[in-house]
Structure 1
Amino acid sequence: MPGVGVRTAAVLLVTVGDGTSFPTAAHLASYAGLAPTTKSSGTSIHSEHAPRGGNRQLKRAMFLSAFACMKADPTSRAYYDKQRARGKTHTQALLRLARQRISVLFAMLRDGTFYESRTPADVELAA
């Protein structure tokens, strides 16, 4: 996977393992602290915001790999640019890219496959 070097791979291996302890990619994203949480008080539900919890090592590893892959992977760069065009800040766009890469990592672990690079035209980008 572009942006994942030796150190990042070691962190992923130690924190995620083979991925069998996570039933879905959303569970893995929540564990990493990359899934949005709902701010609520009593019966009032206000909005979603970035969580402050989660596994800090995994979140940092995914954030840094998202930052590093922007030059090497045109699909990731296209996703980042689309988020910036929607008005997201640099950090928000990187966190969204890291969340998307968590889903790709989960699928790779679940299926036992290697990363396959695709062109940005072939990819339906998530909102």
Structure 2
Amino acid sequence: GARVLAEFGDAPDRYTDAKARRNYAATSPITRASGKKRVVAARYVHNDRLIDALMFQASKAIVVSPGARAYYDKQRERGIGYNAALRQVANRLVGILHGCLKHGTLYDEHTAWTNQAKQTTA
């Protein structure tokens, strides 16, 4: 957690929204679309220390967090590979981190993964 926060920096207004933070972290995909074709690709230019810390955090989150595990399992059921599914969990965790920092709240498992729990029980 400390490495992730250090790599994002301490300027509170550096990221305007969660998407900007995800783009900086390189966990969000790049989508290129034209009138006939749409291509979704992973971001390859990134801060190595940040992405390593986020992937480590995501790999531990799927072990200890039921919500993260449900999200990961849903991605795997869609036929997505291990690394891509883990990157999507990391992407979700970056968004959750942004919300916590923006609103000054502590991480809450129930609040962070509420929609995953609803989909799992349904």
Q: Smaller-chain TM-score range?
A: 0.7 to 0.9
- The residue aligned with 2:86 is 94
Aligned residue pairs: how many?
A: 115
- Report the identity percentage: 30
What letter matches 1:83 in structure 2?
Q
Higher RCO structure, 1 or 2 (CA under 8 Å, sep 6+): 1
2:29 to 31, 36, 55: 36
Relative to the length of structure 1, the TM-score reads 0.79
In structure 2, list runs of 5 or more residues that go unmatched.
Answer: 117-122
1:24 to 17, 20, 33: 17
- The residue aligned with 2:73 is 81
In structure 1, list runs of 5 or more residues that go unmatched.
Answer: 1-8
Cα 1:90–1:43 shift into 2, 3 Å: same
Determine the C-alpha separation between the residues in 2 that align with 1:38 and 1:71.
30
- The residue aligned with 1:6 is none
Contact 2:54 2:90 (C-alpha < 8 Å) held by counterparts = yes
Structure 1 residue 39: deviation in Å? 4.4
Structure 1 residue 123: deviation in Å? 2.1
Contact 1:75 1:119 (C-alpha < 8 Å) held by counterparts = no
- The residue aligned with 2:108 is 116
Q: Secondary structure at the match of 2:107?
A: coil
Determine the C-alpha separation between the residues in 2 that align with 1:60 and 1:35.
15
* CA offsets 1:48-71 (integer angstroms, 9 cap, x no match): 100101222111111110001112
Relative to the length of structure 2, the TM-score reads 0.82
Q: Tell me the C-alpha RMSD between the 2 structures.
A: 2.3
Determine the C-alpha separation between the residues in 1 that align with 2:67 and 2:27.
20
* CA offsets 1:15-61 (integer angstroms, 9 cap, x no match): 21344200011101110111111347x98754010010122211111
Determine the C-alpha separation between the residues in 2 that align with 1:71 and 1:64.
11
Structure 1 residue 119: deviation in Å? 8.2
Richer in helix (by share): 2
